[in-house]
Amino acid sequence: MNFCKSLCFSASIVLIFSAAAFSQQRSRVVPNQPTESRPINQPPSQNSKRPTLTNQIVITQKPPTLVKKTGSSQPLNSLPIPSAMKSYSASFNQKLLRAIQIRAGIPYRYGSTGPNAFDCSGLVWSVFYDAGFNFERSSAKALWQNSVEVDGADRYKFGTLVFFNKLGHIGIVFDESGFYHASSSQGVTYSRFDGYWAKRIVGFRRLAAEK
């Protein structure tokens, strides 16, 4: 009887130690599957941390706005402005002066009426046309024949036409000191009457009517 009790007691001790050892062994098992239920090959969720950029972002400057180049780089006030302009109406004179000023410095080319080059009669036609005086583009000689002769103080009123070199050249009077014209060497410019040009004047005339 005592032998049976001892045998049962020993068997119980062995079973307890075996169960404890088995429990410790299970706790060391590392699962082979990921803890998340989401498939491994799916993109990260919106809540996951975004990857860090490795390339530096460079912000380039906005390209400069291109400005259209005009026929002249000179300022608009590079030609003198007459103190009194009485040949035509005040509004016409202002338009005529503006038309001349914006062409200052544009180069000379025979037979041209602009906008990038002018000859002498082409300049006259162009500025009068812009001011509202419409007439047929013609040579200095033809303009002489179709304009009205002026003398005395009227010769030096702004807008009067002045002819040179046997009607081979034409300009627009500034005042008694000088005139505007398209020079073969300087383009659209202002020149004084004294000296070279004074010796070459043929006469002064005025277009017959302002239209």
Q: Residue 173's domain is classified under what CATH number?
A: 3.90.1720.10
Please compute, for residue 16, the number of CA atoms within 13 A of its CA located in the half-sphere on the CB side. 6
Q: Please say if the pLDDT value at position 147 is more than 50.
A: yes
Q: Is residue 103 part of a domain?
A: yes
Dist. CA 130–CA 172, nearest whole Å: 15
Share of the chain above pLDDT 90, in %: 51
Q: Please say if the pLDDT value at position 189 is more than 70.
A: yes
User: In this predicted structure, what is the pLDDT of residue 103?
Assistant: 97
| β-strand partners of 149 | 205
What are the two backbone dihedrals, phi and then psi, of residue 7, each rounded to the nearest 5 degrees? -65, -40
Q: Is residue 59 part of a domain?
A: no
Q: Is residue 79 part of a domain?
A: no
Q: Structural domain of residue 128, as residue ranges? A: 85-207
Angle, helices 90-101/120-131, rounded to nearest 10 degrees = 130
Q: Is residue 145 part of a domain?
A: yes
DSSP code of residue 177:
T
Greater model confidence, 58 or 15: 15
Q: State the Cα angle at 77 between 72 and 82, rounded to 5°.
A: 125
Dist. CA 11–CA 124, nearest whole Å: 132
Dist. CA 5–CA 108, nearest whole Å: 135
What are the two backbone dihedrals, phi and then psi, of residue 92, each rounded to the nearest 5 degrees? -65, -40
Q: Is residue 115 part of a domain?
A: yes
User: In this predicted structure, what is the pLDDT of residue 90?
Assistant: 87
Q: Is residue 50 part of a domain?
A: no
Q: Is residue 162 part of a domain?
A: yes
Q: Is residue 199 part of a domain?
A: yes
User: In this predicted structure, what is the pLDDT of residue 89?
Assistant: 84
Q: Please say if the pLDDT value at position 2 is more than 60.
A: no
Give the chain's domain count.
1
The strand pair at 161-164 and 147-149 is best described as: unpaired
Q: Please say if the pLDDT value at position 172 is more than 70.
A: yes
User: In this predicted structure, what is the pLDDT of residue 88?
Assistant: 76
Dist. CA 47–CA 66, nearest whole Å: 47
